[in-house]
A and B are shown apart, each in its own frame.
Chain A
């Protein structure tokens, strides 16, 4: 049994290995990008809209409302980043319904990359909102004594983001794999349904936590949740 799809090497050339994670990631990215392009080609502002446009509008407005509830005042600025994170993680856990599909988020390299994106996005948005000086001052809140702890929390929460998502997705795949050898037919289906639920919850949590971290850096809200 392998821990993640990183170990399935499909194609090998020189020092470059094409593993299962890269393939599933790119297939998902292509499907989502082409799907979004096809749907948004025929957008209508009045009259009857297509079903797909309705579905996309529901997704976008819901994400926007959630970002606004966290305390970010201009959700349209953060929607591309946070929405992409949510859609990617949600898609990858939804696609586990396809037999033989291993979610790319079940590999630590993918989740570490996503967490690194959040790690870089926080100072990016923070500096864009209140300047370099203003952003650096958030590290000395509430007093200068907290500076090392704020820096440690910045690093530890990035690690926590990566390992949490990896652990959840990997455990889902692994539990189904183990159950298939014990009770083959019905019970793995129940666990698969549970895995879909936890996958959606994890996607929600990942993007909400990213929003909370960005909100803390842009100081539109007090630091309620700063570590984990």
Chain B
């Protein structure tokens, strides 16, 4: 196999691993955050506005980690700089 194939294989496999592994941590974190927020909502329904707002902001913070992984894997698949470099070297393109 030549280096072009290796670049393609590495990009695709890495993209899959990035989004797969990168989702695990944020998923666990978001699950914990929502669970704790729900139990505190049940204990103190009066503070629901504050709890919900803080929960949303916190969830956005946690979720952004998964979003980073998603963006990286999208770049690897659709806008890969290494692959563009390889394509540019192919004669007749």
Taking Cβ atoms with an 8 Å cutoff, the residues of A that contact B are 1-3, 66, 69, 160, 163-164, 166-168, 170-171, 174, 201-202, 204-205, 208-209, 212, 225, 228
- Is B60's beta carbon under 8 Å from chain A? yes
Q: Which B53-93 residues have a C-beta within 8 angstroms of A?
A: 53, 56-57, 60-61, 63-64, 67-68, 70-71, 74-75, 78-79
Residue of A nearest to B58 (CB): A225
User: What is the distance, in angstroms, from B70's C-beta to the closest C-beta of chain A?
Assistant: 6
Min CB distance A116 to B, Å, is: 17
Which one of A1, A3, A167, A205 lies within 8 Å of B68 (CB-CB)? A167
Query: Chain A contacts of B56 at CB under 8 A?
Result: 201, 204-205, 208
B64–A212 contact, CB under 8 A? no
Task: Tell me, in angstroms, the Cα distance from A206 to B57 when the chains sit together.
Answer: 9
- What DSSP secondary structure best describes chain B's contact surface? helix
User: Which residues of chain B are near A204, meaning CB under 8 Å?
Assistant: 56
CB of B28 closer than 8 Å to a CB of A: no
Q: Is B1 an interface residue (CB 8 A)?
A: no
The residue of chain B having its C-beta at the shortest distance from the C-beta of A66 within the complex is: B53
Contact with B61, one of A167, A174, A225 (Cβ below 8 angstroms): A225
Q: Are A168 and B57 in contact (CB under 8 A)?
A: no
Q: Which residues of B contact A208 (CB under 8 A)?
A: 53, 56-57
Q: Is the CB of B63 within 8 A of A164?
A: yes
User: Do B74 and A225 touch (CB < 8 A)?
Assistant: no
> Which residues of B, 13-65, contact A by the 8 Å Cβ criterion?
49-50, 53, 56-57, 60-61, 63-64
* 13 more A-B residue pairs beyond the given contacts A167-B67, A171-B67, A228-B64, with a C-beta to C-beta distance below 8 A: A3-B79, A164-B64, A166-B71, A167-B64, A167-B70, A168-B67, A170-B74, A171-B70, A171-B74, A201-B60, A202-B60, A205-B57, A212-B57
> Quick one: given A3-B79, A69-B49, A208-B53, are A164 and B60 in contact (CB under 8 Å)?
yes
